[in-house]
Amino acid sequence: MPVNATGSYFLPDVSKSVDVKWADGFPVYKSSQSDTGTAKQDLVWDWGTLQKFRFGHYYAKAIVVYNDGTRDVSAEAILDFWVIPWKLLIFAIFVLIIVIIGAVTVFKKVARLTYKKDRDIKK
């Protein structure tokens, strides 16, 4: 991903931050214009990019080169971070709990009917 795609200039002894968006994944936020003219972010679920589902531990490495007035100087930074789709995980856990409760209920009902049938046969 390009760090300074616009080719902005940086002044000496002034701190500058550059935002980089990770737009290659599933799902991804896309910028759009609302009817009132304000910019907004929409979550886009492009199922063709499902293989780019983001989950796990990632590393971002930036190597930048700047001129200190006499020569080019390089600087390097590494950042590690976790991507955890917590909303999707909560939904999956909820569905799993519902399935487990349903299976236990069906198992108990079958066991109760089987026990009742065995008890009626013994009488």
Tens digit of each residue's pLDDT (9 = 90 or more) over 22-51: 777 777 778 888 778 788 888 888 888 888
pLDDT band at 106 (very low <50, low <70, confident <90, very high): very high
pLDDT at 12: 67
For the chain, what is the radius of gyration of the CA atoms? Answer: 28
- % of residues, the chain, pLDDT over 70: 89
pLDDT band at 107 (very low <50, low <70, confident <90, very high): very high
Residue type, 73: V
36-40, 85-89, 99-103 — most confident range = 99-103
Cα–Cα distance between 39 and 31 in angstroms, integer?
A: 7
CB atoms within 10 A of CB 19: 5
Structure token pair of residue 114: 């089987």
Residues in CB range of 46: below 8 A, 6 or more apart: 26, 27, 28
Strands 39-44 and 72-83: what pairing?
A: unpaired
Structure token pair of residue 22: 């990770």
Task: Using the predicted structure, report yes or no on whether residue 103 has a pLDDT greater than 90.
Answer: yes
Rounded to the nearest 10°, the torsion over CA 20, 25, 26, 32 is 40
Arithmetic mean of pLDDT over the chain: 82
pTM for this entry = 0.55
Cα–Cα distance between 68 and 58 in angstroms, integer?
A: 31
* Residue 28 DSSP code: E
Cα–Cα distance between 123 and 117 in angstroms, integer?
A: 10
